[in-house]
Amino acid sequence: MDKVLVDTNVLIDYSRGRDASLGRLLEKQKQIRIELFVNPIVVAEFLTDKNCQKSEILDKANDFLRLFSFVSIGKKESILAGELLRTSVVDFIGDAFIGATCLTNELSLYTKNQKHFKKVKGLNLV
């Protein structure tokens, strides 16, 4: 079964009706053909939306996030994220943790910002 970490930009585009491609992956997940993940960085970025100050919107956002399995960030991911930043493979700390999460947990990455991750060796971009 394919395991895919979904980047924040994909979640935002889908939740705002801008892109339906995530819907196809969610259908595959229902059919147990794929497993979709988020990590703490993706969750935090997704919930920064000022609209989430309204409780009903925050509830909807949290319900949406429950569709995904959660993968934690630990010491391995932190060390690798530091290396990715130190060696200028990625430019942003959030991207470093997303890339490191994928590499240490053998996850592919579904993102709209592939240019942010193109130098990460061994990372499979969807």
Domain count, the chain: 1
Q: Is residue 20 part of a domain?
A: yes
Residue 101 pLDDT: 98
Contact assessment for residue 5 and residue 16, using Cβ atoms and an 8 Å cutoff: no
For residue 5, the 8-state DSSP code is E
Q: Is residue 122 part of a domain?
A: no
pTM for the full model? 0.94
Q: CA triplet 101, 86, 97: central angle to 5 degrees?
A: 20
Radius of gyration of the chain (CA): 14
> Is residue 78 helix, strand or coil?
helix
CATH of the domain at 51: 3.40.50.1010
Q: Is residue 126 part of a domain?
A: no
Task: Specify which residues 110 forms β-bridges with.
Answer: 6
Q: Is residue 121 part of a domain?
A: no
Find the domain containing 13 and state its range. Answer: 2-116
Residue 1 pLDDT: 85
pLDDT per residue rounded down to tens, the chain (126 residues)? 899 999 999 999 999 999 999 999 999 999 999 999 999 999 999 999 999 999 999 999 999 999 999 999 999 999 999 999 999 999 999 999 999 999 999 999 999 999 999 999 999 999
Contact assessment for residue 97 and residue 41, using Cβ atoms and an 8 Å cutoff: yes
Q: Is residue 125 part of a domain?
A: no
Q: Is residue 28 part of a domain?
A: yes
